[in-house]
Amino acid sequence: MKISNITIVSLTAAALASCTPATTPSIPTPEPPTTGVTTAPTPDTTITAPTAAAATATPLANPTPDGKKNTVISPYSPYNLIDVTGYSSGDIVGDPSTATLDPSTQKVDLNTAKPLRIP
């Protein structure tokens, strides 16, 4: 597949995934045992489950079309190849081509690189 096709497919999948509403079930907190213990009444509180949007907020990098090991295609323009040697699948790394220059030192500040998830 061409890089443009992979990009279009991944953007389409991301757009479709964002269209479905995330539902979070409420889990009621258990009541403490009341045998022989007098306590003040507590209001009914619920704990909501974490949303799936937090897990998918970081874009997924694309594998290279020729199957190069330890190399992925950045999901950010200009879609450079990134060497991810030493990282495993699911790790979040920064795209060095999106980092900005530090105005005082004129060096690349890698802390400003956009994050991406390794497939």
Condensed to tens digits (0 to 9), the pLDDT of residues 27-38 reads 666 665 555 555
Mean pLDDT of the chain: 76
| 6, 62 Cβ separation under 8 angstroms | yes
Give the tens place of pLDDT for each residue, 81-104. 999 999 999 899 999 999 999 889
DSSP annotation string for 50-92? PPTTTTTSSPBPEEPTT--TTEEE-SSTT--EEE-TT--TT-E
Secondary structure letter of residue 18 according to DSSP: H
| 118, 91 Cβ separation under 8 angstroms | yes
Residue extents of the structural domains in the chain: 59-119
Q: How much is the pLDDT for 46?
A: 59
Cβ neighbours of residue 57 closer than 8 Å, sequence gap 6 or more: none
101/46: higher pLDDT: 101
